[in-house]
Amino acid sequence: MTNIAFIPVRGGSKSIPLKNIKLLAGKPLVYWTAKAANDAVCIDKVIIATDSMEIKQTVIDFNLSKVEIYDRKAENAQDNSSTESVMLEYLENNKYNNDDLLFLIQATSPLLKSEFINEMYNKFILDSADSALSCVLSKRFFWTHNGKSINYDYKKRPRRQNFDGIFMENGACYINSIKNILKEKNRLSGKISVYEMPEYTAVEIDEPDDFLLIEKLMEKYNDD
């Protein structure tokens, strides 16, 4: 069985031009997830899927042993392109066994570490799951737009230490088999294993200020 880490990065970004290679803590953004996947014991190869020659050359210069480049089609690198579209494009153009696993990793989650990937994989196996996703446990109180409480009874507000909270996707990592992805056209399917990552990993890179926040978090939590 082959375990493939798949990191889609495109050149276009409206909010932050060439976001995926903008420097974060002295390294291009995509370096951090590429390095985490490269160093994960459970990962056999790391695919960086990009439509940008500049990103491609930047990734090549990382000299990470497991990393390969996939030249994604422009039609699947638009603002309205889904992540699933480039995943399916890659799988339809590369031969893998049905039981091989694809680890979808998003470059906008640079707080992902190799140990998290390994632990998530081990839990996925122990759970005998079909797919898996990474989450953080949130003990915030959520509401709908029309004023309905979602995850608690506001008339009986619980104390934080007695509140179970709710899991929230942090977008860092997903695992599924090649067979399932091709069949369901989705990163998740069947019995889903939930892997809990630390609360600080809830932050993703979407806006310029996120770089400043994540750099501070990396100073505190990263060893690299």
pTM across the whole model: 0.93
Domain ranges for the chain: 3-134+171-194
Catalytic residue among 10, 157, 159, 160: 157
Q: What is the DSSP secondary-structure string of 20-61? A: GGSEETTEEHHHHHHHHHHH-TT-SEEEEEES-HHHHHHHHT
The amino acid that residue 80 corresponds to is N
Q: What is the pLDDT of residues 105-150, one digit of tens each?
A: 999 999 999 999 999 999 999 999 999 999 999 999 999 999 999 9
Respond yes or no: is residue 160 known to be catalytic: no
Q: What is the pLDDT of residues 69-103, one digit of tens each?
A: 999 988 888 877 899 999 999 999 999 999 999 99
In angstroms, the CA 109 to CA 176 distance is 19
Question: Which pLDDT band, with edges at 50, 70 and 90, does 223 fall under?
Answer: low
* Cβ-Cβ contacts under 8 Å for 203 (sequence gap 6 or more): 111, 210, 213, 214, 217
The amino acid that residue 126 corresponds to is L
Whether 197 has a pLDDT exceeding 80, the answer reads yes
3-state secondary structure of 197: coil
Query: Which region, left, alpha or beta, applies to residue 129 given φ > 0 means left and ψ of -120 to 50 means alpha?
Result: beta
Fold entry, domain 3-134+171-194: Spore Coat Polysaccharide Biosynthesis Protein SpsA; Chain A (3.90.550)
